[in-house]
Amino acid sequence: MPLYVGIDCSTQGLTLQVLSVGVDDDAAHLAAPGDHIVFQHVVNFDRDLPLFGTRHGALPYDNPAVVHAPPQMWADALELGLAALAQSGLDLDDIAAISGSAQQHGTVYLDAAGEFSRPTSPIWLDTSTSVECAEITSALGGPNAVAQLTGSRAFERFSGPQIRKFWKQDPVAYARTARIHLISSFLASRLIGRDAPVDVCDASGMSLMHLGTSDWDQGALDATAPGLRDRLPPIVPSSTVVGTLAPTWRERFGLPAAKVVAWLGDNSSSLVGVGLEREGDVAISLGTSDTIFGVMSQPRVSPDGIGHVFASPGGGFMGITVFANGSLARETVRDMYGLDWQGFSEALRSTPPGNNGARMLPYFVPEITPPIPVAGVQRFNLDEHDVARNVRAVVEAQMTAMKRYSAWMGVKITRLVATGGASGNPDVLKVMSEVFGVPVERRDVRNSACLGAALRAAQGRVSG
């Protein structure tokens, strides 16, 4: 039976999964795709690659706004993953295709010989580019103009401002740089042994791509750094087969000349992993941060700059809004009242929808959406000592915020999928359903980005 490999390079580790799908199976519509996973291997950067000295996958810096990681670590992790695959006991000749995903927005800098012209890579947690964001925004005519052009206002975490900062701080190293990859296209390049293109979904998260043309926008490039177009890979559709597994991997590990399908950013790959296909399909991921994302037929942008629009792997667009106070807020309230998760659920069941008017603004840490720079919790018509009503208040506040701050997408939700750790709590999902006014479907996906990559590899068998 054909095997399809999905790889996800996240902030703290690299996961490799192998999906077994029959030749007559429709990989895009498997009822329970996780049941088809026949092998998984996880590389933890801190544990398995200690020589790089990372903590939680990033290098330690005195300035908390600066968050970099060594790109060689990602390349070594990919090698460890392929070595584990070679020792998996699977029939390697059955491997038909490989695809992957990686944390969005991180950039890798190479010289003409393919060596690193910059030894570290800024990743999505880096917020040190406020000045560069302001410069790009001014050059392009303001935040709304940037959003209309690229899908998001200029964000510190995004690739364009990071590239500009590198050019300003180290123009000699920038001049030596021949190629600037995203982490996704960098690892795809390692697989095929030559420069891989960047897929349209990950390119759309750089503040450099014109959403309407799916190509680099010259105005955005000029506002970022000189000679940038020549340093960027071409942009291709997400389904593109970018090459075959390079001879070096075949010789070292006995792997076949499998197709390599373009790699995506992790959020776009998760869209595939949780099975979203058409406008009206929306998912909520209840994790460390809570995220609501869904398919959009048109690139409507957030007028107040809180959301993002990326290209979608299935065509069209993807809208996404992220909230910092996710599981942390739920866990803080749980622990504040000495509850376990069963007690948390019982509190939800004992209180009515609407909580009799009791409300909370649960900003236990500074919030991304809406922008709340200083943490603080506010209660309205709510006694701090009323355990049950505080529990319902935090969950209703989170669900209400996700509904309110995703309205900019202009999507009528017809299918709502819940994933992530807290999606295993049916009482939390009941509140979600009450707030959004639609049934909630739980999708038990442990690593939706990695599963999405494996599914895309399987879908790639009919292309290229």
Residue 364 CB partners (closer than 8 Å, separation 6+): 325, 328, 329, 332, 375, 377
- Number of Cβ atoms within 10 Å of the Cβ of 72: 16
E strand or H helix at 110: strand 107-110
Residue 331 CB partners (closer than 8 Å, separation 6+): none
In whole angstroms, what is the distance from residue 411 CA to residue 310 CA?
Answer: 15
Domains detected in the chain = 3-270+447-462 (3.30.420.40), 275-444 (3.30.420.40)
At which residue do the structure tokens 């996906």 appear?
445
In whole angstroms, what is the distance from residue 169 CA to residue 312 CA?
Answer: 34
In whole angstroms, what is the distance from residue 423 CA to residue 420 CA?
Answer: 6
Which among 348, 424, 331 is positioned nearest to 387, based on CA atoms? 348
Residue ranges with strand state E in 326-380 = 359-363, 376-380
Q: What is the pLDDT of residue 28?
A: 58
Burial class for 345, CB neighbours closer than 10 Å (0-12, 13-18, 19+): middle
Question: What pTM was computed for the model?
Answer: 0.88
At which residue do the structure tokens 């009799």 appear?
356
Encoded tokens for 221: 């490039």
Describe the crossing of helices 426-436 and 387-404 by its angle, rounded to 10 degrees.
Answer: 50
DSSP secondary structure, 404-425, as one string: HTTGGG----SEEEEESGGGG-
Q: How far is CA 65 from CA 122, 152, 394, in A?
A: 11, 21, 29
Low-confidence ranges of the chain (pLDDT < 50): 462-464
Q: What is the pLDDT of residue 462?
A: 47
